[in-house]
Structure 1
Amino acid sequence: MGRSSECAYYRAMESPIYFSGQFLLATPGMADPRFARSIVALCSHDEHGALGINIGQTSDDISFHGILDQFDIPAEGSADKEVYVGGPVEAHRGFVLHSLDFNQSETLQVGDRWGLSSSLDILTAIATDGGPESWIIAIGYAGWGAGQLEQELTQNGWSITPGETDWLFETDARDKWEMAWQAQGIDPGRLSGQFGSA
């Protein structure tokens, strides 16, 4: 954990500070191999826990058109896209992170940054060119119970950064993790596995 993450955690202990709309970056000290080189877009974080979507890994098994086929939704000429492995929780459930020009009653608006939707309606809208201008789709999510993320931020696994909304939509998945570190002026190749232990 970086010094900024450590300071943020201790401030949170004095009065709760939550990180919805920010990004978690896995450090080289990440103990869980499922999250190695992860960059997680935090969509919800409050006293009950946190939910995020990993945008640093794509699936080898399915594409957007494959998901449409599963639900008998015609592609209607829409572009095919890779599907992200959003996390280990509910690994067969789909989520769409998207720009705020699209909103449904079930859409979770993450501040002024992006929306999170999980209904079949958004898939149909995208397939018929009536969806959001910018979007990515993921299967599964990363979840934390009450206080769990705050505790993990005091350990070696994660660093947190406000980041840029463009990270969701405009960077190839394989480059996102390294790009996010470099955007903070840090060469990830020089990070130690004991990063943040001071």
Structure 2
Amino acid sequence: MTGVEAGVLLVATPALNDPNFADSVVLVLDADDSGVLGVVLNRPSGLPVAEVLDAWRDVVTEPDVLFQGGPVMAEGALAVALLHGSQEPPVGFREVTGQLGLIDLDTPVELLGDSLDALRIFAGYAGWGAGQLDGEIATGSWYVVPAQADDVFREDPSDLWRDVLRRQPGDLAWHSTRPVDPDLN
């Protein structure tokens, strides 16, 4: 694999023109020999969580809308959470990396108590079969960079793509200054 592991970000390069992923930032949740699974972090929908998963309405981080996690199984949902402090993980929590993990949405909300600092719910996910993402990285479609917990739970993710690139070392930071439409340059 090309440096892809759970907890890293995939940042779409200008060469990636698939409308599902153009200018996207994907958090990798799972990566192994059979493939890679992640969620797009910067695509909030207009659909309030309360309309589809009412029990979670008071637990999700602002904005309290579903995020479009990707084109695969868009009728399903994944919840990404950040644990509070260094306490024991609650029932239904599966670690991705450090304090960041997935919450089983079938878990009764009451069992979480005050164990979470943040929670975001994604409709659908992004998925790649064995070797598929490595091929896309090799052809220049993705940058693979470290993630920060704040990337996942930003209230306004509209500048996430630029901000993630801006903090990278070396030449990669320069890509953050690319105009939205290079023809206007």
Scaled by the length of structure 2, what TM-score is found? Answer: 0.79
TM superposition shift of 1:95? 1.0
Q: Which segments of 5 or more consecutive residues in structure 2 lack a partner in the other structure?
A: none
Counterpart for residue 12 of structure 2? 26
Matching of residue 144 in structure 1 with residue 128 in structure 2: yes
Matching of residue 109 in structure 1 with residue 95 in structure 2: yes
2:35 and 2:158 map into 1 onto residues whose CA distance is 28
Counterpart for residue 53 of structure 2? 68
Higher relative contact order (CA 8 A, sep 6+): 1
Contact 2:67 2:121 in 1 (8 A): yes
Matching of residue 54 in structure 1 with residue 57 in structure 2: no
Contact 2:14 2:141 in 1 (8 A): yes
Percent identity over paired residues? 28
User: For 1:160, which of 144, 149, 164 is the aligned residue?
Assistant: 144
Contact 1:39 1:55 in 2 (8 A): yes
Aligned length: 173
3-state SS of 2:147 partner? coil
1:64 and 1:140 map into 2 onto residues whose CA distance is 14
1:77 and 1:45 map into 2 onto residues whose CA distance is 28
Q: Which stretches of structure 1, 4 residues or longer, exceed 4 Å deviation after superposition? A: 74-80, 128-131
TM superposition shift of 1:142? 0.3
Q: Which moved more, 1:47-56 or 1:17-26?
A: 17-26
RMSD over aligned Cα, in angstroms? Answer: 2.9
Scaled by the length of structure 1, what TM-score is found? Answer: 0.75
Contact 1:95 1:116 in 2 (8 A): yes
Higher strand share: 2
TM superposition shift of 1:113? 4.6
Matching of residue 189 in structure 1 with residue 177 in structure 2: yes
Contact 1:53 1:141 in 2 (8 A): yes
Instruction: After superposition, give the CA deviation of every residue in 1:118-160 in whole Å (9 maximum; x if it has no partner).
Output: 32326x349x864512111111000011111111110121111
2:17 and 2:143 map into 1 onto residues whose CA distance is 13
3-state SS of 1:186 partner? helix
TM superposition shift of 1:31? 2.8
1:31-50 paired onto structure 2 within 5 Å:
31-50=17-36
Matching of residue 98 in structure 1 with residue 81 in structure 2: yes
TM superposition shift of 1:50? 0.6
3-state SS of 1:150 partner? helix
Contact 1:103 1:115 in 2 (8 A): no
Amino acid at match of 1:153: I
Q: Which segments of 5 or more consecutive residues in structure 1 lack a partner in the other structure?
A: 1-7, 10-16, 194-198
Instruction: After superposition, give the CA deviation of every residue in 1:1-32 in whole Å (9 maximum; x if it has no partner).
Output: xxxxxxx83xxxxxxx5421100000111031
3-state SS of 1:133 partner? strand
1:66 and 1:117 map into 2 onto residues whose CA distance is 19
Change (3 A) 1:86 1:76: closer
Instruction: After superposition, give the CA deviation of every residue in 1:175-198 in whole Å (9 maximum; x if it has no partner).
Output: 2111111111334233899xxxxx
Change (3 A) 1:171 1:154: farther
